[in-house]
Amino acid sequence: MSTTASKKIAIVTGASSGIGYAITKELAQHDYIIYACARRLEPMQPLVDEFSTSIIKPYKLDISILDEVITFKEFLEEELSGQKLDLLYNNAGQNCCLPALDISDADMQKCFQVNVFGHINMCRELSKYLINAKGTIVFTGSISGIVSFPFGSIYSATKAAIHAYARGLHLELKPFGVRVINSVTGGVNTHISDIRPLPKDSIYEFPEGKEAFESVQHMTDNYQPMSAEVYAKKLVGDILSSKDPVDVYRGSSATFLSFFSSIVPYFILESALIKQFNLTKAFEVLKGKKVEAKKQD
């Protein structure tokens, strides 16, 4: 067993960029040893150079592949001192910004495999280490799991699913002294926007539709997102706290949007989304096409 017994041990998935990278660095500054997991290891080299391989331990892992998760579990069997894991930070994510009717089966499966099934598999396979340590599990949730933004229905569905799973897990792990935190995340400057163009046969493939689509694609950049570093400081503060919430709200507008969506009727929220993301003109064009088609019939 190679880890240092006196230090706390963390696993962070999706550690090669954005929130995962910032969380890994913040944990290292709080004297954790971190298994920094990602599909690409090269981007984490600056962290290794800054903190050394005794603190940052890069591990190549695709959480969407169950065999890789199981192999990682077997690796930890030999690595973890006392068979204890203090923190599992489930951060790896797959964005998916396309109209609901344009999502291919492959895109849908990929998004759910990473955002939902991969995290569930990690929790199940590593649970004994967390229970042994009375550790903490964290999920990078999203305000999208509460508010379904235009062209983000599949991504929203994955985040709503992981919110529900986190809450159930929070309840079931109480007797074991394991905390579960779901970070309902608002705007964070991570540069992971899905910038694929609309499919050529999309019902929104016309100038006004593309304008609305691009507005959604760049919504995080346009609304003063929180830096990943500030977000990480807040989340590590939640981890180090003795409090045991299910949901915490971090990132720009997370608290406001969660509260707003809980008190207003859905039709008002929907009207606000139409206005905010320039959908009015697109809807007028689509209604015009519908009228024209009826005339031709």
Active site residue 155: yes
Spell out a b/e string for 22-35, using b for 16 or more CB atoms within 10 Å of the CB, else e.
bbbbbbbeeebbbb
Distance CA(101)–CA(187), nearest Å, equals 26
Distance CA(144)–CA(157), nearest Å, equals 8
Contact 99, 90 (CB under 8 A): no
If residue 88 lies in a helix (H) or strand (E), which one and from where to where?
strand 87-90
Q: What angle is formed at CA 24 by the lines to CA 20 and CA 29, rounded to 5 degrees?
A: 150
Beta bridge partners of 250: 185
Q: How far is CA 258 from CA 71, 145, 185, 253, 263, in A?
A: 38, 10, 10, 8, 9
Catalytic choice (35, 59, 155, 231): 155
DSSP-assigned states of every residue in 9-68: EEEEESTTSHHHHHHHHHHHHTTEEEEEEES--GGGHHHHHHH-TTTEEEEE--TT-HHH
Distance CA(98)–CA(155), nearest Å, equals 9
Distance CA(69)–CA(279), nearest Å, equals 42
Q: How far is CA 123 from the centre of its chain?
A: 15
The amino acid that residue 284 corresponds to is E
- Which residues are within 8 A (CB) of 173 and not within 5 positions of it... i.e. 6 or more apart? 131, 137, 179, 180
Active site residue 200: no
Catalytic choice (84, 156, 159, 249): 159
Active site residue 81: no
Tokens read off for 10: 């963390």
Positions annotated as catalytic residues are 16, 155, 159
